[in-house]
Amino acid sequence: MVLVASFAYINHRYIKLPTAIGLMLIALIFSIGLIVVGYLDLGITEQIRNWLGQFHFSELLLDAMLSFMLFAGAIHIRFEDLKQERLTIILFSTVSVVLNTVLVGSVFFYLFPLFGFDIPYIHCLLFGSLVSPTDPIAVLSILKQAGVSKSLETKIAGESLFNDGVAVVVFLSLLHVAQSSSGEFHVDEFLILFVKEAFGGLLLGLAFGWVGYKLISSIDNYQVEVMITLAVVMGGYTLAHSLHISGPLAMVIAGLITGNHGKTLGMSDVTADYVDKFWEIIDEILNAVLFVLIGLELILIEVSTTSLVIGVIAILVGLLGRYITLFIPSLLIRFREKIEHKTLVLLTWGGLRGGISVALALSLTPDLNKDLFVTITYVVVCFSILVQGLTVGSLAKKLN
């Protein structure tokens, strides 16, 4: 938190980049400086590397931070806005994620041998699932400044919430298959795991959201009501983890219920204001911590020329794959509304890869090509946040 607050001050006072992007850039520069210092053999870099190694970034994000961030994002989205864009959001956050996983995984199944890596197809699909989740929330404020429509804002916000949840389910389902005795990919086995994780999470989210709403509506005390929202997140996510169902999807649904029925029917104006501000601060702090940790992870990553080259290829394949897997579902949506080519271009360039991708890669074991996948994923994430994130506003204005 000392580093996060220091970097946030430097960014706000001098660099003046969007918060998430500025924090990650400063953290990367800080990490590069430490690596350079490491060559002087002062022992400082090694101490910090050991310190960072104790963090277990993957567990920190997936088992703790993600639940709060998804809930915080969901309570600010209106049911009415989601209803208008429901088909687009559902298809982009489900069909697009699965298609992108298969497309990227299949391409790299044939590319990896060219670099001397003999990697099974199920492992390549795992890699595809790593780079499929997007985090457009990081650029939403930039796009708002560029004057994008409310419809596009809702598409981006809605996709980012459900996209993360679905992507984690796809990854965990593939991971279970990869770690099974056969290690072979079977569609039926994957679908059973996917349905159990996804629908179990949705049902649990409905249950916790409804219980939280009923408790909140029965009292009028903003301190207790804020604590109830915390209990919904922490209790719901813990139970989801114990039942092996999707905690991220549960938190999205619980957040939507709390932010709509809870605030409009169960809370006074004072309580609703406190709840909004409390979760806004939680979201800002956790996002800041996340992007600083992404930047600091550079100290722990083993980088080679080969992995950098594959990372550059992964950037190109990922962008092309995202456009294709957005275009295919958009053909179904065209029966109800017109989705223009420039909208797909903006959604493609604005679909940043973020902390989820890095955390999923770090959760792998060495026998699943962890070191290679972590490095490639890190290259993709750095390009995505620093290059795409800094240019998406200009692209939005150019596309009008």
Residue 258 is assigned to a structural domain of this protein: yes
Q: Show the tokens assigned to 97.
A: 């994620």
Question: Can you give the residue range of the structural domain that contains 217?
Answer: 58-399
Give the pLDDT confidence score for residue 80 in this predicted structure: 84
Q: Would you state the pLDDT for residue 252?
A: 92
Contact 201, 208 (CB under 8 A): no
- Residue 69 covered by a domain: yes
Residue 330 CA: distances (Å) to CA of 86, 88, 317: 13, 8, 20
Domain for residue 9, yes or no?
Answer: no
CATH of the domain at 129: 1.20.1530.20
- Cα–Cα dist 209/248, whole Å: 13
Question: So what's the pLDDT on residue 204?
Answer: 96
Number of domains in the chain: 1
Residue 31 lies in a domain: no
Torsional sign, CA 106, 112, 113, 117: negative
Residue 178's CB is within 10 A of a number of other CB atoms, namely 20
The pLDDT, as a whole number, for residue 157 is 79
111 neighbors 313 (Cβ within 8 angstroms): yes
Tokens standing for residue 188: 């039926």
CA dihedral 261, 265, 270, 272 (to 10 degrees): 0
- Domain assignment of residue 6, yes or no: no
pTM: 0.89
Decide if 92 contacts 156 (C-beta within 8 A): no
In a domain, 15, yes or no: no
How high is the pLDDT of residue 162?
86
Q: What is the pLDDT along the chain (400 residues), one digit of tens a residue?
A: 999 999 999 999 999 988 888 999 999 999 998 888 877 766 777 788 888 878 788 888 888 898 999 999 889 888 888 888 888 888 888 899 999 999 999 999 999 999 999 999 999 999 999 998 887 666 666 676 667 777 777 888 788 788 888 888 899 888 888 887 666 666 777 788 888 888 999 999 999 999 999 999 999 999 999 999 999 999 999 999 999 899 999 999 999 999 998 888 889 999 999 999 999 999 889 989 999 999 988 888 888 899 999 999 999 999 999 999 999 888 877 655 667 788 889 889 988 888 889 999 999 989 999 999 999 999 999 999 899 988 988 888 888 7
Question: To 10 degrees, what angle do helices 95-111 and 121-130 make?
Answer: 130
Instruction: Tell me how far CA of residue 94 lies from CA of 24, 34, 98, 195, 325, in angstroms.
Output: 29, 40, 6, 12, 10
Residue 50 lies inside a defined structural domain of this protein:
no
Residue type at position 54: Q
- Considering the domain boundaries, does residue 330 fall inside one? yes
